[in-house]
Chains A and B, each alone.
Chain A
Amino acid sequence: MNWLRLISIASLLLLLVPVFILLYYGLGPFRDAAGYSAEVFRSIELTLFSSALAVVVDFILFTPLAFYLARGNDRVAETLVDIPISVPHPIIGVALLIVDSPVTPTGKFLLGLHINFYNSILGLVAALVIMSAPIYVKSMLPYFESKDPSPEEFATGMGASKLRTLFSIVLPNSFDGLASSSLVSMSRALSEFGSISIIAFYVLQYPFYGVSPASVTIYEFFSGNMSGGLNAAVTASAVMILVAIPITLAGHFLRRRTSR
């Protein structure tokens, strides 16, 4: 008998129990129409939109960092990347509030440029970027490390800078790694609650005026602030799981394929 396999399957099932229970009760005995109402789908739309936008920012701003860490052997920077996800997530929401507060110099500056984080799509995306970027970087890092540096060194010998090499040579040959890391970090953004419940409980901009992110909407059902209560919270959670699972699975499938 393969005990390692048995123990592994048991521990995996332990992890998946909450998901299966939510799916069972949310789509079965506890099903509540409020949990799949137009309001819930609007909040899922907002979550998908803001998470996708956060991943685009992750790609633009943090791909160079991941490449630098993979080739630069900078252990301090590698450790610092983990900080945003190693602190309680509401702290990031509070930090963004302070950064953009009218009583702080940074806030005065940003508000002077009409940049407002509070209850805005910008604030929502900023929080999601901070929470998903470490996952993106940590996913791209081993991918870049596993790539043979010969083409980069070849380009460097011809006089190309590191940045030029990254954009002209490495990235055009890294579609699989970029796609899998983007999907993995998007999964992380979809699941965020702590920071966005502070900085963007709902957003006040077109086309999502008054819409809350999905995780906040589920909390609102649960806390009784939205009609539907626990049953609607469980149903909305099941719907959200059905939306998020394909993205998570696609990311991990692509990652497995690229690591072969």
Chain B
Amino acid sequence: MIEAKVRAHLGEFQLNVELRGEGVTCLAGKNGSGKSTLLRVLAGFLPVDEGNVLVGGTNISNCSAEKRGIILVTPASCFPHLRVDSHIMWGANLKKLRPSDEYVSRVKSGLGIDFAGTVGNLSRGMRQRVSLATALLSSPRAILVDEAFLGLHDREAFIRAYGTLAKEAGVDVIFTSQDEEDGRLGDHLYVMNDGVAAPKY
């Protein structure tokens, strides 16, 4: 479970959020509402003025982004020079994890990765699938998906499949959307407006 109670001043923008996300959480809101800012705060890429971020009950507020075990995935989160199979194992190899071939195959088929080649030559949607698989196979505590579900042709089915795989692996997922209706694809929905996240369910 990700728990955050944070306040942050970022230029003119103020973030004031209290959030508890377990399983798959949808963070909905208009452009500029603070969704991406919140995810960057949770991932440790932006400082907070006060408050704490807890993952699985552990306070990670003072941990660097490298040590948090929280992966931020955006549409540009990929390593263009790698081939698909090397890419999806990159994080796992870094942590010296050895996921079974069967599990890797299941993740690949579940996320529609039935292609190969150099990642930089793939379409945007293909790259996003590869990045999301890479994040999942590296066994983080949480995955924050900032717009990286957009543009997938089977978006709803993909989010459901991703959520199922993440829950199996014990990984919490928070994804952003501009449409509150996407809340039904997750377990919880928060709606952000002017830097404040309001829980809906």
Mark A residues whose CB is within 8 Å of B: 148, 150-151, 153-162, 164, 169, 172-173
Q: Is the CB of B77 within 8 A of A158?
A: no
Q: In the complex where A150-B74, A150-B76 touch, is A157 in contact with B140 (Cβ < 8 A)?
A: yes
Partner of A153, one of B69, B72, B134: B72
Q: Is the CB of B79 within 8 A of A158?
A: no
Query: What's the nearest-Cβ distance from chain B to residue A199, in Å?
Result: 40
Residues of chain B with a CB closer than 8 A to A172's CB: 79, 81
Of chain B, the residue at the smallest CB distance from A164 is B94
23 cross-chain CB contacts under 8 A? A150-B76, A150-B77, A153-B72, A154-B71, A154-B74, A157-B65, A157-B71, A157-B135, A158-B71, A158-B91, A158-B94, A158-B134, A158-B135, A158-B140, A159-B66, A159-B67, A160-B66, A162-B66, A164-B94, A172-B81, A173-B79, A173-B80, A173-B81
C-alpha gap A158/B139 in the complex (Å): 9
Residues of chain B with a CB closer than 8 A to A148's CB: 76
Partner of A159, one of B72, B76, B94, B134: B94
Cross-chain pair count, CB within 8 angstroms: 66
Q: In the complex where A158-B90, A158-B135, A159-B94 touch, is A153 in contact with B66 (Cβ < 8 A)?
A: no
A-B complex: 3 closest residue pairs judged by Cβ atoms? A157-B71, A158-B91, A154-B77
Most buried by B among A148, A154, A159, A164: A154
Residues of chain A with a CB closer than 8 A to B43's CB: 153, 157
Question: With an 8 A cutoff between CB atoms, is B138 at the interface?
Answer: yes
Cβ proximity bits B137-173 to A, threshold 8 Å, 1 near / 0 not: 0101000000000000000000000000000000000
Q: Is the CB of B66 within 8 A of A156?
A: yes
Known: A154-B73, A154-B78. 17 other contacts (CB 8 A): A150-B76, A151-B80, A154-B72, A154-B77, A154-B131, A157-B43, A157-B65, A157-B68, A158-B95, A158-B134, A159-B94, A159-B95, A159-B138, A160-B94, A161-B66, A169-B79, A172-B81
Of chain A, the residue at the smallest CB distance from B91 is A158
Interface residues on B, range: 20 to 34
Question: With an 8 A cutoff between CB atoms, is B70 at the interface?
Answer: yes
Residues of chain A with a CB closer than 8 A to B70's CB: 157
C-alpha gap A148/B45 in the complex (Å): 14
C-alpha gap A208/B73 in the complex (Å): 54
Of chain A, the residue at the smallest CB distance from B80 is A173
C-alpha gap A228/B68 in the complex (Å): 69
Most buried by B among A148, A150, A156, A157: A157
Residues of chain A with a CB closer than 8 A to B74's CB: 150, 153-154
C-alpha gap A154/B71 in the complex (Å): 6
C-alpha gap A157/B134 in the complex (Å): 11
Cβ proximity bits B77-119 to A, threshold 8 Å, 1 near / 0 not: 1111100000000110011000000000000000000000000
Of chain B, the residue at the smallest CB distance from A175 is B81
Residues 17-49 of B at the A interface (beta carbon under 8 Å): 43, 45
Q: Is the CB of B45 within 8 A of A153?
A: yes
Residues of chain B with a CB closer than 8 A to A150's CB: 74-77
Q: Is the CB of B91 within 8 A of A159?
A: yes
C-alpha gap A164/B70 in the complex (Å): 18
C-alpha gap A162/B138 in the complex (Å): 18
Partner of A151, one of B71, B78, B94, B135: B78
Query: What's the nearest-Cβ distance from chain A to residue B80, in Å?
Result: 6
Residues of chain A with a CB closer than 8 A to B76's CB: 148, 150-151
C-alpha gap A161/B78 in the complex (Å): 17
C-alpha gap A161/B67 in the complex (Å): 9
Query: What's the nearest-Cβ distance from chain B to residue A167, in Å?
Result: 12
Residues 118-140 of B at the A interface (beta carbon under 8 Å): 120, 131, 134-135, 138, 140
